[in-house]
């Protein structure tokens, strides 16, 4: 039994990430200027510029400055990230608590009328489908909860830092397309982390709503949540999740000092178990985007400061 939309979500997210990665990869290739290579590179440089590099480009072209927004709009990224991540986390955590406790299958409480309201045409009950799920599948749902908790920590921390730690200059700008790309990222990244469990969680919530409509509040059982049961399954996850969490926490503690974003998302990738292809594409996008930005910032330092070490590498020491 399919859970409605499950097979389509991950391929759609993967295609979205590919569409975001391809222009960055193309700009890094030696495409001839006649074929549009230089134009593509200049466009991506303008989009990725922010702060000091955006000020430099804006000073050279007043027309380009019209397509910029204040860099303090970074705050919007993390507000969106918190809203999306919190919504997904609560939905999947509730579903995992109610139906994906690894060792205790739960009996059905769904009516036939509720099944018809949401369009189920299968001959067996949806509840029997949930209770018969393999243990590995249930652990996968709890892994999704675990990874979304890490993402929640990341966006909440970045929201706090942007509001209370960083002080952006009034002249610091970023390109409007870079701003839109940031908003896109903080919507699609949490969706990618949740993609393996989100369709079935939505299906479960739909049935909850349908049952409420059919039975009414008076006939619905009281919802009692045991906090210990919310956390106990997370403690039973495998070593990958805890290694990923350690890497994530280490990267978070060092991010301000060394900008260890790739370490943070590597931790999320490991914690997810590496089985969701959309999370791999998310990681590839982070690598491509940050590598391109690092190269452009490195070039800016070389041009701006005469005493800047020319032999210093932009991404990996002694390599590139």
**pLDDT 10s digits, 24-34:** 777 766 666 55
Q: Which pLDDT score, from 0 to 100, does residue 301 have? A: 61
**pLDDT 10s digits, 43-66:** 666 666 665 555 544 444 454 567
Query: Has residue 123 got a pLDDT over 50?
Result: no
Q: Give the Å distances, CA to CA, from 174 to 1, 106, 181.
A: 47, 52, 11
Q: Which of 178, 155, 140, 199 lies closest to 12, judged by CA? A: 199
**pLDDT 10s digits, 183-220:** 999 999 999 999 989 999 999 999 888 887 887 777 77
Q: Quote the percentage of the chain above a pLDDT of 90.
A: 18
CB 74 within 8 A of CB 317: no
Q: Which pLDDT score, from 0 to 100, does residue 202 have? A: 93
**Domain boundaries of the chain, sorted by first residue:** 23-53
Quick check: helix, strand or coil at residue 51? strand
Rounded mean pLDDT, 102-114: 45
Query: Has residue 263 got a pLDDT over 70?
Result: yes
Q: Which pLDDT score, from 0 to 100, does residue 2 have? A: 43
Structure tokens at 118: 């949401």
Q: What is the value of pTM for the model shown?
A: 0.72
Lowest-pLDDT choice from 157-161, 200-204, 289-293, 299-303:
299-303
pLDDT level of residue 101 (50, 70, 90 thresholds):
confident
Structure tokens at 103: 């060792």
Lowest-pLDDT choice from 2-11, 249-258, 263-272, 307-316:
307-316
Query: Has residue 102 got a pLDDT over 60?
Result: no
Q: Which pLDDT score, from 0 to 100, does residue 1 have? A: 39
Q: Which pLDDT score, from 0 to 100, does residue 108 have? A: 45
Look at the alpha carbons of 184, 187, 188, 193 in this order and tell me if their dihedral is positive or negative: positive
Q: How far apart are CA 293 and CA 44, in angstroms?
A: 9
Quick check: helix, strand or coil at residue 312? coil
């Amino acid at each position: 039994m399919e859970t409605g939309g499950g097979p389509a979500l991950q391929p759609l997210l993967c295609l979205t990430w590919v569409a975001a990665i391809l222009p960055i990869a193309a700009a890094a290739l030696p495409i001839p200027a006649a074929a549009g290579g230089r134009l593509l590179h200049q466009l991506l440089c303008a989009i990725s510029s922010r702060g000091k590099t955006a000020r430099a480009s804006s000073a050279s072209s007043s027309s380009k400055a019209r397509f910029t927004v204040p860099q303090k709009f970074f705050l919007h990224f993390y507000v969106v990230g918190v809203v999306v991540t919190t919504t997904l986390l609560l939905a999947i955590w509730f579903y995992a608590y109610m139906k994906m406790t690894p060792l205790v299958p739960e009996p059905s409480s769904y009516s036939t009328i509720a099944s018809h309201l949401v369009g189920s045409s299968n001959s067996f009950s949806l509840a029997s489908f949930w209770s018969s799920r393999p243990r590995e599948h249930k652990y996968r749902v709890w892994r999704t909860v675990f990874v979304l908790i890490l993402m929640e920590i990341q966006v909440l921390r970045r929201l706090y830092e942007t509001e209370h730690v960083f002080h952006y200059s009034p002249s610091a700008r970023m390109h409007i397309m870079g701003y839109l790309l940031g908003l896109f990222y903080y919507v699609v990244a949490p969706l990618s982390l949740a993609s393996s469990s989100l369709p079935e969680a939505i299906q479960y919530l739909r049935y909850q709503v349908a049952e409420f409509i059919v039975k009414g509040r008076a006939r619905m059982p009281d919802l009692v949540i045991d906090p210990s049961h919310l956390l106990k399954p997370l403690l039973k996850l495998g070593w990958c999740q805890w290694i990923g969490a350690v890497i994530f926490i280490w990267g978070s503690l060092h991010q301000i000092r060394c900008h260890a974003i790739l370490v943070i998302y590597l931790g999320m990738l490991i914690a997810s178990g590496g089985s969701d292809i959309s999370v791999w594409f998310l990681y590839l996008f982070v690598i491509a985007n940050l590598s391109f930005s690092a190269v452009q910032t490195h070039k800016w330092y070389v041009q701006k400061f005469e005493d800047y070490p020319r032999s210093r590498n932009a991404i990996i020491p002694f390599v590139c």
